[in-house]
Amino acid sequence: MSIDIREEAGVRTLHFGSDWIQGAMRIARPWALELAYTRDMMLALLFAEQEALVFPERVLQIGLGSASLAKFIHRYCPQTIQTIVEIDPAVRAVARQFFKLPEESRQLKVLIDDGALFIQKSASLFDVMFIDGFDTNAKAGALETCPFYQCCRARLAPGGILAINVVGGQRRMQHCARQLNLAFDQHTLSLPACDSGNRILFAFSTAVPKLQFSQLRTKAAALKKRSGLDLLPTVTRMEQQP
């Protein structure tokens, strides 16, 4: 796979042999979430049913990219243990060299493995799972199928949350939503697509939390105070969708 690194206006971007951006980092703030869809995925941090903002103990991420999610969690959720699964060792090397992927530790492990196979053989439970894996043609393959989503559900801890980045046309979005609903018995919700066209789907181990938007806004304000990440616009988009 061809990997290209580009820079413009203080932002470094990752490309897999095309103009499509696979990841981005503002060089002056490498831990910040530069792309809108990565910020949308972080809405998962607000969905826990506790009144206060509580960070997950264990996070799984499939697809490393430019390590945006990994860096944010490593900096602002220091007690969270992250396991990141990336199929291509070259992506891990590039993330370390060009995108400031932190050194591995007890809190952060990057495994070279096929994400779908990892889920099948794993015995661990995770509080939050982020799925963001694509090939050079922006295809997710097995990572957008009902059997894969069923395996994800089996690996979620009680109250666990799955967040999936979906790209492509309306047919792709509908396909992923159908497969996810089958695997999670309709315990799902979705955000409106962001400006880039990415759409984030969420699924829950049991039922969709019965959170009021006022609670989400309170948690979003707490997260902004702690990290600078402002999810209030995301909450508003979610509230205003039909």
Q: Give how many domains the chain has, as a whole number.
A: 1
Q: How do residues 168-219 score in pLDDT, each as one tens digit?
A: 778 888 999 999 999 999 999 999 988 888 999 999 998 888 878 999 999 9
Q: Are 173 and 121 contacting, i.e. CB atoms less than 8 angstroms apart?
A: no
Task: Look at residues 5, 20, 6, 35 and name the one whose alpha carbon lies nearest to residue 135.
Answer: 20
CATH, residue 219: 3.40.50.150
| Residue count of the chain | 242
Gap between the Cα atoms of 74 and 40, Å rounded:
18
Q: What angle do CA 175, 210, 58 make, to 5 degrees?
A: 70
Q: How do residues 18-34 score in pLDDT, each as one tens digit?
A: 888 899 999 999 999 99
Res 211: pLDDT: 79
Q: Are 198 and 37 contacting, i.e. CB atoms less than 8 angstroms apart?
A: yes
Stretch 107-133: mean pLDDT, rounded? 95
Residue 8 lies in a domain: no
Residue 127 lies in a domain: yes
Residue 1 lies in a domain: no
Alpha helices in the chain (DSSP H): 36-41, 68-76, 89-98, 115-121, 146-154, 170-183, 213-227, 232-240
Q: Which of helix, strand or coil describes residue 4?
A: strand
Residue 21 lies in a domain: no
Residue 114 annotated as catalytic: no
Res 138: pLDDT: 63
In this structure, what token pair is assigned to residue 113?
Answer: 């493995």
Residue 199 lies in a domain: yes
Res 188: pLDDT: 96
Residue 125 lies in a domain: yes
Above 90 in pLDDT, residue 52?
A: no
Residue 87 lies in a domain: yes
Range of lowest pLDDT (60-69, 76-85, 202-211): 202-211
Domain that holds residue 144: 31-240
Catalytic residue, chosen from 4, 113, 114, 132, is 132
Residue 20 lies in a domain: no
